[in-house]
Structures are given as structure tokens and as C-alpha cells.
Amino acid sequence: MKRFVVPTIFLLATLAGCQTENSENRSPEELPLYDPIDTIGTPIEPTEKIYKNTGEDFIKGVAEFSDEMNNYLDSLDECPEPDTPENSDTSHCSMYLHELDHVLFGSDEFTAEREQMRDDPTTAKILVIDYRFGGAVIRNAKRMLGMYDWQVEENGDAVTADIVKATDMYVTSPADFQFKKMIARSESFLPNSELTRQLDYDRMGKVKTADNAATEYHGSIILNALADYIPYAQFITLKFYHFPNSVICSNSEETIDSYTDQIITSISNLIDEHDIEYVNLSAGRTRASFFDDINQHCPSLENKILNADKLNASYTRILQAMANKAVLVQAAPNGARPTLTPVLDGDFGENHYSDCVDIPNRLRTGYIAKSYLNEPNLPIIPQGGIPYSDAYLSLLNGTMHTVKSCTDLMINSGTVKGFEDLPYFGDHPILFSIWGGSGSPEFLMTTSFINGLGIAVLEQIHRNQGITPSEALALLKSRKPTTETPYLMDPMRHEELPLCANFPDACRNWAGFIIPRWLEPDSQTDANTERQDRHRR
């Protein structure tokens, strides 16, 4: 899993005008723990149900929320500039630790709505295997069913792996915390894209986020996208599973198999417990990545290549087991040399074996990044999609062209990498959010970020056709003339997403939208913050 580094990505919290604070250069452990019972300013309590969530009232509901948010922000004093005396109550600008499990499940605030949604048979339940979900879980509090992590214990060749409750901490200001809680409390569905078009970001300068927000981005972008484009979905999060050194360096096939069985059993039980229909996985492993791990942690190990093959086979077995329990939607590699080609079952010596072997009930997603604003002569993907052919070669960048034979579905983001269309977003853009208060084009698109849209496409097929999610996946794959031919879709252009079906206004009228001044690109994150976590895509 150790590859495909994301070198830079825009920090949307900063871009949205929510300036970051350095918390006086303190480490998170030194920050005070924020008690969510305390309030700063005048947050909106969930006593009066004033927001709408259906039909023509949708945009009105977002506008009403914007008005309430403005009232809250007007009750706060301006945050002081760095190194200036504080002459008023600006405690809402300081950084605090937030214990996410306590925020989500420490009270009964969201229990009734969460359980009502959970028991509704039309609710889509998604297991998101990723990391660094940050404030996205606060924003979507009533749609969260659980947050989980791995507890791995090593004792010689005996290794145990169990799923336990996650104990994640999130650093942000009380104002930002209250902003996300107000979104969670709203009866309206408030996608990030619509907040982009509604909120007054001159006022939003009072909502400070921590300067470590960049490290929160991977899972946060993915969870926000899933929540935005599948309005009726609920989520369980689970940290990435990994192979500890005692397994990586073991010559015992029994040890490797035993550990793999425990991972499979734990994930399978979690899927059963929460009636999971989809697994969103933005990660992958190769034979080479296992070989690198062996060289790093046990360079004197004999039969390194054989061990790498065993681990490659075990990782693939985990993918197959997940796909046997739910629809597995997995991000394709972000690029590979040489060009990937399909492999036969059992060919574990193939570097990209787990990516390129055809696993039933798995969808491998890739992306197209074309807006057509400055390239009007590009071929347009028709409604319903079309199998890839050379006529669409100009839509694929070099990265996606190399992996197309091991990708099932390529989704057009409707935007161009690098914000090249500024001040416009694009004609039919899919928008993403780190912060959870606005959406924008993704500066550096990856297969990780588009992956959740693969689930959204399947959900729309599932609902339209009246078939199961697995049958929807089989139907989509049946449109591919060969296993190595990807299927191309432009779902925002043709309104082929649940968001568009439920709230069509959110998918329309983007062509003339000009990016506000508070989203002018002026900050990028340090690539080094991500290099330690190369297993995600």
C-alpha cells in the first residue's frame, strides 16, 4: 500500500477565508479539551424546526441556514490579528481539542434522528475505510453510526487484530465547532456546494481552524463527498488495516494466514453489524510495496520475494472477502509504469495483482478531469456513459491512461486540475470540501477523491432500476465490452447522481458561477505531511 504520494493539495479551510491559527506553536497534547456543552456566542439550538428539505424549498432552506449562521457570527467579536492585544471576548478564536467519539455519541442529541434514519430501509449504509476524517464527522453527526480503529497486539509470532472504537481528537476553534454542529442540527440537507453559493465569507473570518487542518484532509474530503452526493446515506468509518512488522517479517505462512483471517473476520462482523451495503476503500497494495516493507524492517530475511508474494495474496484475499459481503468500491492506482494489464487469478508475482485481477462485486474507479470551458472541442460523454475507445483518448491524462485496463469506471470531475478555469468552477463540476463549509474543484484530483462518486453512480442505478446494489454493479460492468475496457461517465452533466435526483437545483446553474474572492488560491499544504502515509491513494 505504500505508494502514490499526493504532493500538494489546496487547504480549503484557508481558501474559504477561515484563516488558520498556529495555537501558539503548541502540540495538540498541550491544548485544552473543549467541552461541547459550553457554547461561545449564540449558537442555534435544535428547538425549532425551521428548515426545509424537499423540492422547491431546498434552496430556501439553505438560504435560511445562511441567515441563521450570519446571526451567530454577528454575535461574535472579531478575532485579533496575531501578536496584538485582546481587547474583547475572543475565546471563540482559540484552539481546543475535541474528542470526536464524545461529540458524536456522548449525548442523545442526535440519537433519535440517527436511529430513525438507520431503520429506514431506503438509507444507504457505507463503510468508509480511510483515515483523518477530521471535522467531516461533526458536520455529518446524525449520519454517523460509528467510528472504529484497529487494535493490533504482537507477541512473537502470535499477532491479534481487533476492531475497537476510535479515539480520534480534532483540533479547531469553538466557533468552527459550533458552525459544524449547526449544520448537523439543521433539518435541511446542506451540501458544501450550496453553502459555497450562500454563506457570507466576509463574516466567516471569525471561524478559525487549526494550522494542522492539512493533515485532516484525506478522509475528510472523501466523507464530505459521499455525504454531499448521496443525501440519504449513513456512515461507519474504519482506519486502514495494515500488516505489522511481525507479519511482514514472518517466514510462517500460518502467521500470515492467521492474521489475514482475523482482519477478514473483524471487517465481516462490522459489515454484518451495521447492514453495510458498500465499502469505500481508497487504498491499495502491490508486491513491490510489500517487498519494500520487508527490506525496511527485516533486510536479512530469506526468501523476500516469496514473502512478498504471500502478502500480496493475503491482501487480495481481504479484498475478495469484503466484496463477498458488500459492494466494494476501490480507488484504482493513481499511476503505474509500465501500463497495467489484467492478470490471471493466482498470479501473485504480478506487482499490481490485487488491482488487476477481476474480483466479482468490486468496482475500481478512476477519474477524468475535464471541464470543457477552455477545451470546447473535446468529445462529450453521452448520458448513461459509454465504453472507452480511442475516440475518447483526449479525455484521459497520462496517469489514467496507464491504468485504464485495470479500472472499471472513470468519472469526469467536470473540473480541470490546478484550478486552471478560475475564476469559474466549470460547467458541471463535482465539488469537494476539506473544511465542510464550502465546496470547490479539487486542485489535485486523485482516484481516492473520486471514489465515493462511484458509489453514488451505483446508488442511482440501484434506485432507478429497482435492483440491488450488487445487481447495479453487475449491470454497469456488463456495459463494458471487455474486462480491460473502462466505462466512462459524466454524472453531473447528465444529473446521474442521487443529489441531482433529490435536489436538482444543487446540480444546476454552475456554468456562470464565478469563484468569490475568498476562494482565490493562496495556500498549499506541505507535501511532507503526507509522505508518511503512502498507502492511501
**pLDDT score, position 536:** 57
Distances (CA, A) of 516 to 197, 198, 422, 438, 522: 9, 11, 10, 12, 13
Q: How many CB atoms lie within 10 A of CB 39?
A: 14
> Can you tell me the distance from the alpha carbon of 62 to that of 190, in angstroms, rounded to the nearest whole number?
6
**pLDDT score, position 30:** 55
Q: What is the pLDDT along the chain (537 residues), one digit of tens a residue?
A: 333 323 223 333 333 434 444 433 334 445 555 554 444 444 333 333 333 344 455 566 788 888 888 898 899 888 887 666 555 577 888 888 888 999 999 999 999 999 999 999 999 999 999 998 988 999 999 999 999 999 999 887 789 999 999 998 888 888 999 999 999 998 888 999 888 888 887 888 888 887 654 456 799 999 999 999 999 999 999 999 999 999 999 989 999 999 999 999 999 999 999 999 999 999 999 999 999 999 999 999 988 999 999 999 999 999 999 999 999 999 999 877 777 888 888 888 888 999 999 999 999 999 999 998 888 899 999 999 999 999 999 999 888 999 999 999 999 999 987 778 877 888 899 999 988 888 888 878 899 999 999 999 999 999 999 999 999 999 999 999 999 999 999 999 999 999 999 888 889 888 878 765 544 444 333 333 332 343 457
Q: Which three cell numbers stand for residue 275?
A: 447492514
Residue 173 burial (10 A CB sphere; 0-12, 13-18, 19+) = buried
> Can you tell me the distance from the alpha carbon of 432 to that of 438, in angstroms, rounded to the nearest whole number?
8
> Can you tell me the distance from the alpha carbon of 503 to that of 491, in angstroms, rounded to the nearest whole number?
14
Which runs of E-coded beta strand occur in 224-284?
233-239, 278-281
Largest Cα–Cα distance in the chain? 70
Q: Could you tell me which of 272, 265, 285 has the C-alpha nearest to residue 352?
A: 285
**pLDDT score, position 417:** 78
pTM (predicted TM-score): 0.88
**pLDDT score, position 453:** 98
